[in-house]
Structure formats: C-alpha cells, structure tokens
C-alpha cells in the first residue's frame, strides 16, 4: 500500500501537532511495515528530511498549511501523487481526492472555547464537520477526545479509534546537578524554580497560574522563580499584562520556545511542573514531566486525568487558592514529592511511540483494505 502522511505543518510549527507528526513517522520507520511504502508530503520550503529510510519517500508540496485556498490546491497536488491512503494529522484532509483518508483529531478546543481563537484559526478548524464526514476513519489521541467527537460532532463510535501519544524519547531522568548546571549556563537561571511549558495562549490558563503564584509569594513567602517556556500563541497579550499588573516582572522568566535538548534539562532542574490548562485533548507536557520524574500539578479537566492517572496532583483550574496550596505542598512535603516522582516514572512507561505506530499501521491497513 502507498501511504501518504501530510507533514507540511512541521515546517511552520514543530511543536504540538508538528511534534506528533515527526515522532509518529520516526516510530513507523522503526517497526516492520511489510511492503507498505510511505510518502511524506512536506512543504517545498522545508529542506530537512524527517526520516531517512528506504521505505519513506518525499514529495514537496506548494500548498501552505492552513491556506485559504488549501482545499482546492492540496487536493490537486495529492491527486497527482497516486496514493492509496492519505493520513492528515492536522484534522482537515482535502475533501476532493482519489484515495482513502485517515485524520487525527487532537482536541476540540476550537469548539469548546471559540473565543480563544483567531479568525483565521476559527475558519480553518471550522471545517471539522465536513472533515469527519468526508474521511474514512478518525484517530483520536485520547478517550476524552473520542467522547467529545461523538457528543459534539455526532461521529459514529465505530468510525473513531483511540491511539495515545507518547513523550519524545529524549525526555528522561537526569542528575539534578547536571540539569541545573545546563539551565544556569544556557538560561542564566541560578535558583529554584517552578516550571510551565506550553504555548502562551488563553486556553492554558496562565493568568490563573500567575494569580496563584502571586499568592504563593505573598501568603507563604516562597521565593522560587516562575519559568514559562513556550512561544507566544494567539491572544497572548493578557499574560504579559497580568505579569505587570501583579508586579511580577522580576519573578517571572519568559524563555520563549525551548528546543527539546534544553527542555529535558529544564524538567529535571525544576522543583515542579504546573499545567493548569482549561482543556487538553491529550496532555503531552505533563507526560514529558512525568517521564523525567518531575512532580506535576495538573488540571482535572478533559484528557489530563486520563494521561497522568494518580501520578500527579489534580486541581480545578478555576480554583486559584487550590492551585496555590498544591504548589506549596509539592514544594515543602518531601514524601509527596518522592511519591509523585516515583509514580510519574511508572505511569510514563505505559505510553510509547512504538505502540502508537503499530496501532496506527493497523488503522491504515483496515481502511486501505476496505
């Protein structure tokens, strides 16, 4: 079978779905795929090779991701490649095509929180209703996302399969001294810190975290730095305004987008990770922290409890006082920290990209052979 994987988004944004594409492709290249041939559809501007493997070819496409004319242009380009199946990891496939289709739905935040979107993002993801109807099968990255798809979109249960993601293999426990030295050298951070890792956008609830952190300093006299690692997404201005309003300019460090090679050191050097997001379709950041043995505080919403199990402290993202108390507990209760670290490492081992690739290949064969 000749299988195309739409990898154009990797050029525009390596984080999030871009990371999912890269790690899935690498895992597929490391398992037995029989006589299947893969074609990676990459942006013509992307000069990198996601994978070098005899079973993986490459086609450079002109159509940019999320372009207004994507449906017409991408459908035309794909039709010339002669595929048996096209996997669209970024939700929306070309509606007119001459092959079978599989899409991945990562979350439905754009339906639950439409006020958190730019107009362009709302336009693109607003095609989801046509997308699921015109695809042959759907991969959901969590049971929570599957149930959201059934309830909100009306997707028949038999048309959707849950395949969990996993952390990048680069994430692992490191000696604390080594991690702290790396962070000091590369980011000039030479004190204990609380870590947040994700795109800076409204859904991530950073204003709530900043309010809880302000209380942590005022009510409990804690002096740990708050480190925010992530690129600015959409509607990010409120976060910086909140930092200023709460007089936290000297206590919050914005690192911007951090490469995985540095992020593994940040996880290992941090006292804890806080992930207070209102909604996640999976929750890769907490899983990365657990993989490093970093104690984590995570929202009790959507897919997050499904991912972390009992290996993290769960909080209501709207409960500022509860978030503050949770941070104080992890910072001061050594037995709790050790317990969370041990459970996190055990929990993380339940997820792997090899399993994800095997299950994804099964979907390809099921759809392509039907």
Reply yes or no on whether the pLDDT at 327 is more than 70: yes
Quick one: 194 and 158 in the same domain? no
Q: Which CATH number do you get for residue 280?
A: 3.40.50.2000
In a domain, 77, yes or no: yes
Shared-domain flag, residues 270 and 334 = yes
Q: What are phi and psi of 196, to 5 degrees?
A: -125, 135
Residue 155 sits in the same domain as residue 36: yes
Closest Cα partner for 205 from 109, 269, 292? 109
Rounded Cα–Cα distance for residues 160 and 145 (Å): 10
Q: Are residues 270 and 325 in the same domain?
A: yes
CB 312, CB 298: distance < 8 Å = yes
| Together in a domain, 338 and 224 | yes
Please indicate, yes or no, whether residues 224 and 302 belong to a single structural domain of this protein. yes
359 with 291, same domain?
no
Same domain for 336 and 362, yes or no, is: no
Higher pLDDT, 201 or 266: 266
Give tens-digit pLDDT for 50-82: 888 777 999 999 999 998 899 999 999 999 999
Establish if 171 belongs to a structural domain. Answer: no
pLDDT, tens digit (0-9, with 9 covering 90-100), for 152-210: 999 999 999 999 999 999 999 999 999 999 999 999 999 999 999 998 988 899 999 99
Q: What is the mean pLDDT of residues 230-247?
A: 90
Within a domain: 82: yes
Which contiguous run of DSSP H or E holds residue 104? strand 100-105
Own/partner contacts of 27-36, CB < 8 Å, gap of 24 or more, are 27/353, 27/354, 27/356, 27/357, 28/357, 28/360, 28/361, 29/53, 29/55, 29/56, 30/354, 30/357, 31/354, 31/357, 31/358, 31/361, 33/361, 35/1, 36/1, 36/2, 36/3, 36/361, 36/364
Q: Is residue 69 part of a domain?
A: yes
**How sure is the predictor about 215, in pLDDT bands with cuts at 50, 70 and 90?**
very high
253 or 12, which is more confident: 253
Between β-strands 193-197 and 225-229, what pairing exists: parallel, antiparallel or unpaired?
Answer: parallel
Helices first, then strands: H and E counts in the chain: 16, 13
Residues 190 and 245 grouped into a single domain: yes
pLDDT of residue 341: 98
156 and 226, same domain (yes or no): no
Contact 86, 78 (CB under 8 A): yes
Residue 136 lies in a domain: yes
Check residue 370 and give its pLDDT: 62
- Look at strands 137-140 and 160-162 and give their pairing: parallel
Torsion over CA of 128, 130, 133 and 138, rounded to 10 degrees?
Answer: -30
Same domain, 205 and 137: no
**Counting Cβ atoms within 10 Å, is residue 172 exposed (0-12), middle (13-18) or buried (19+)?**
middle
Separation CA 169–CA 285 (nearest Å): 13
Count: domains in the chain: 2
> Angle at Cα 69 formed by Cα 78 and Cα 106, nearest 5°?
70
Asked whether residue 43 falls in the same domain as residue 186, the answer is: no
Q: Is residue 274 part of a domain?
A: yes
The verdict on residue 91 lying in a domain is yes
Residue 102 within any structural domain of the chain: yes
Contacts of 64 (CB under 8 A, 6+ apart): 8, 12, 43, 70
pTM of the full structure: 0.94
- Work out the mean pLDDT of the chain and round it to a whole number: 95
Question: Each residue of 267-316: pLDDT tens digit?
Answer: 999 999 999 999 999 999 999 999 999 999 999 999 999 999 999 999 99
The C-alpha atoms of residue 101 and residue 108 are separated, in whole angstroms, by 20
Q: How far is it, in rounded angstroms, from Cα 280 to Cα 308?
A: 12
CA distance 39 to 237: 40
DSSP string for residues in 252-319: EEEEES--HHHHHHHHHH-SEEEE--S--SS-HHHHHHHHTT--EEEESSTTHHHHHTTSSEEE-TT-
DSSP state of 214: H
- pLDDT of 247 > 90? The answer is yes
Predicted confidence at residue 189, as pLDDT, reads 98
| Rounded Cα–Cα distance for residues 106 and 91 (Å) | 8
Residue 277 to residue 300: CA distance in whole angstroms:
9
Domain membership of residue 184 as a residue range: 176-348
């Amino acid at each position: 079978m000749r299988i195309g994987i739409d990898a154009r988004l990797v050029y525009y944004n390596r984080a999030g779905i871009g990371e999912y594409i890269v790690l899935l492709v690498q895992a597929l290249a490391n398992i037995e795929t029989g006589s299947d041939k893969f074609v990676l559809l990459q942006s013509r501007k992307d000069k990198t090779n996601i994978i070098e493997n005899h079973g993986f070819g490459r086609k450079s496409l002109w159509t940019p991701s999320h372009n207004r004319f994507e449906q017409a242009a991408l459908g035309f380009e794909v039709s010339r490649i002669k595929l048996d199946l096209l996997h669209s990891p970024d939700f929306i496939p070309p509606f007119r095509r001459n092959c079978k289709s599989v899409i991945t739905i990562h979350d439905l935040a754009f339906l639950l929180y439409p006020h958190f979107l730019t107009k362009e993002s709302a336009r693109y993801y607003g095609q989801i209703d046509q997308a699921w109807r015109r695809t042959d099968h759907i991969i959901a990255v969590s049971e929570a996302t599957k149930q959201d798809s059934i309830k909100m979109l009306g997707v028949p249960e038999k048309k959707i399969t849950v395949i969990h993601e996993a952390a990048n293999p680069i994430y692992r426990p490191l000696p604390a001294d080594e991690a702290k030295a790396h962070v000091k050298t590369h980011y000039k951070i030479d004190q204990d810190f609380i870590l947040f890792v994700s795109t800076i956008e409204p859904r991530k609830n950073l204003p709530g975290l900043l309010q809880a952190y302000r209380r942590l300093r005022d009510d409990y006299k804690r002096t740990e730095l708050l480190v925010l690692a992530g690129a600015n997404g959409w509607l990010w201005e409120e976060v910086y305004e909140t930092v200023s309003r709460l007089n936290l300019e000297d206590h919050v460090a914005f690192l911007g987008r951090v490469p995985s090679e540095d992020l593994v050191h940040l996880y290992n050097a941090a006292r804890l990770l806080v992930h207070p997001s209102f909604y996640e379709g999976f929750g890769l950041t907490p899983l990365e922290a657990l993989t490093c043995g970093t104690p984590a505080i995570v929202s009790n919403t959507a897919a997050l409890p499904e991912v972390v199990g009992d290996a993290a402290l769960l909080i209501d993202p709207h409960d500022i006082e509860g978030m503050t108390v949770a941070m104080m507990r992890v910072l001061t209760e050594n037995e709790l920290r050790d317990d969370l670290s041990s459970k996190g490492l055990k929990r993380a081992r339940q997820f792997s990209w090899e399993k994800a690739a095997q299950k994804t290949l099964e979907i390809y064969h099921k759809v392509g052979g039907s």
